[in-house]
Structure 1
Amino acid sequence: MLKLAGVGAGYGPVQVLYDFDLEARAGEVLCLLGRNGAGKTTTLKAIMGLLPLSGGKVMLNGADFTALPAHEVPKRGIGYVPQGRRLFSELTVSENIEIGLMARGNGRATRARVLEMFPRLSERLDQRAETLSGGEQQMLATARALCLEPSVLLLDEPTEGLQPSMIQLIRETVEAMRAQGVAIVLVEQRIEAVLTLSDRVAFIENGHSREVVDTSDLTAASPLLKKYVGV
C-alpha cells in the first residue's frame, strides 16, 4: 500500500499541498480528482521525490522513503507516467524501453511482456520517439513505466488528447495492472473514465485532502463532483 501522511509540498516559497493524506491499496484504481490547480500533479511529483517535502511522510508497505532522491524511487517499484509523457524524444522506442528496464535491472522477459501489451511498439522499435503519434507516445511512456514491474503506478491524465481507440487501450492496460495487484493512482478529468474505471475517488481541494468515496456511490450528477470539480 502507498500512503501519504500529512504531506506538505510546493515550488520554492509557494506551498501547494497542506497536511495531505492519501492511501492507494494493492489491486485498486484510486482516482485523485479536483479542479485545475488543486494539487493533483504536485501530489504525484511529491511521491516520486521530484519535489522536496515541507512536512509529512511518503510510505510504501510501511517503509518510509520520504528522504530518497528521485532516481531511487523507481527502484522501489513505483512507476510514473507524467502528463505530457516526457519521453527521451531523440532516442528510439527501443532505447526508451531499455531505460525503463535499467531502473530495476529487468531484462528480456520483462521487455517481451511489455511489448506484448503494446504490439504497435514492436513495429516501431527503431523509430525515434519524437516521430510517434500522440497515442503511440502515450503507449511508450506507459510501457517504459511498466518495465519497472511496478507495485504502484501513477498516471497523470493518460487519456488527454487521445482518440477513442487509444483511450480504450490505456483503459485495458490499467485494468490488466489492477488484476495483477498493482496499486494505481489515476489523475483524470474525464468523469466518464473516472466513474467506469476507478474503485475509489479521493477529492483534493486547494492542496487539502477531502472526502474519499467508493466510486459505486458516485454518479455524474453527484453533489461531490459539483462541489470539487464543478461539473
Structure 2
Amino acid sequence: MLKLEAVDAGYGRAQVLRQVSFEAQAGEITCLLGRNGAGKTTTMKAIMGLLPLMGGQVRLEAEMLSALPAHQVPRCGVGYVPQGRRLFGELTVGQNLEVGRFSKPDNEGVLEEVLQLFPRLRERFSQRANTLSGGEQQMLAMARALSLRPKVVLLDEPTEGLQPSMIAAIRDVTETMRDQGVAVVLVEQRVEAILALADRAALLENGRMRGVVSGAEMRDDPSILAGHLGV
C-alpha cells in the first residue's frame, strides 16, 4: 500500500500541496482528480522524490520513500510514467526497456512479460523511440515502468493525445496491472475513462485534498465530478 500523510510540497518557495493525504491499495486503481493546476502532477513528483517535501511523508508498506533520494525510489517498487513520456528518443525500443531494468537488473523474464503486454513493441524492438507514433511511445513508457515489476505504478495523463484504438490498449493494460495486484495511481482528464476505471478517487482542489470517494459513488452521483472538476 502506498500512503501519503500530510504531504506539503512545491517549487522553491511556492508551496503547491498542503496536507495532502490518501492511500493507494494493491489491486486497485486510484484516480487523482482535480482541475488544471490543482497539484496532480506535483503529487506524482513528490511521491517519486523529484520534489523535496516541505512536510509530511510518503510510505510504501514499511519503506519510507520520502527519506530516500529520487534514484532509489524505483528500487522500492515504484514505476512512473510521466506526462509527456520522457523517453530516450535516440535509443531503440529495446535499449529504452533495458534502461527500465537498471534499477532491478535481477528481474529475469520481465522483458518477455512486457513484450507480451505490448506486442507492437516487439515489432518495433530495434526502432528508435523518436520514430514511434504517439501511442507506441506511450506503450514504451509504460513498458519501461513495468520492467521494474513494480508494486505501484504512477500514470500521469497516459491517454493524452492518443487515438481511440491506442486509448483502449492503454486502458486494457492498466486493468491488467490492477488484476495482477499492482496499485495504480492514475491522473486522467478524460471523465469517461475515469468513471470506467476508478476503484476510488482522491479529489484535489488548490493543492488540498477534498476527500476520497469510491468509483461506485462517482458513477452513481455525477454531481461529485461536477463539483470538483467543473464538468
Q: Please give the TM-score of this superposition, normalised by the length of structure 2.
A: 0.97
Number of the residue aligned with 1:229: 229
Give distance in 1, aligned partners of 2:29 and 2:156: 13
Counterpart residue type for residue 187 of structure 1: V
**How many residues end up aligned between the 2 structures?**
231
| 3-state DSSP of counterpart to 1:213 | strand
Counterpart residue type for residue 61 of structure 1: E
Counterpart residue type for residue 125 of structure 1: F
Give distance in 2, aligned partners of 1:62 and 1:7: 17
Structure 1 alignment gaps of length 5 or more: none
Does structure 1 retain, via aligned residues, the 8 Å contact 2:107–2:148? no
Counterpart residue type for residue 118 of structure 2: F
Give distance in 2, aligned partners of 1:147 and 1:135: 18
> How large is the RMSD of aligned CA atoms in angstroms?
1.1
Number of the residue aligned with 2:12: 12
Number of the residue aligned with 2:29: 29
Number of the residue aligned with 1:68: 68
Give distance in 2, aligned partners of 1:107 and 1:42: 30
Does structure 2 retain, via aligned residues, the 8 Å contact 1:2–1:59? yes
Does structure 2 retain, via aligned residues, the 8 Å contact 1:157–1:189? yes
Give distance in 2, aligned partners of 1:106 and 1:120: 25
Number of the residue aligned with 2:56: 56
After TM superposition, the structure 1 = structure 2 runs for residues 185-200 of structure 1, keeping only pairs within 5 Å, are: 185-200=185-200
Give distance in 2, aligned partners of 1:201 and 1:33: 7
Number of the residue aligned with 1:150: 150
- Which region of structure 1 is more displaced relative to structure 2, 46-55 or 60-69? 60-69
| Deviation, structure 1 residue 107 | 4.5
Does structure 2 retain, via aligned residues, the 8 Å contact 1:32–1:201? yes
Give distance in 1, aligned partners of 2:76 and 2:52: 18
1:127 to 1:108, Cα distance in 2 relative to 1, 3 A? farther
| 3-state DSSP of counterpart to 2:161 | coil
Does structure 2 retain, via aligned residues, the 8 Å contact 1:191–1:220? no
Counterpart residue type for residue 25 of structure 1: Q
Give distance in 2, aligned partners of 1:67 and 1:2: 14
| 3-state DSSP of counterpart to 1:35 | coil
| Deviation, structure 1 residue 106 | 3.6
Number of the residue aligned with 2:137: 137
Give distance in 2, aligned partners of 1:48 and 1:160: 21
After TM superposition, the structure 1 = structure 2 runs for residues 175-194 of structure 1, keeping only pairs within 5 Å, are: 175-194=175-194
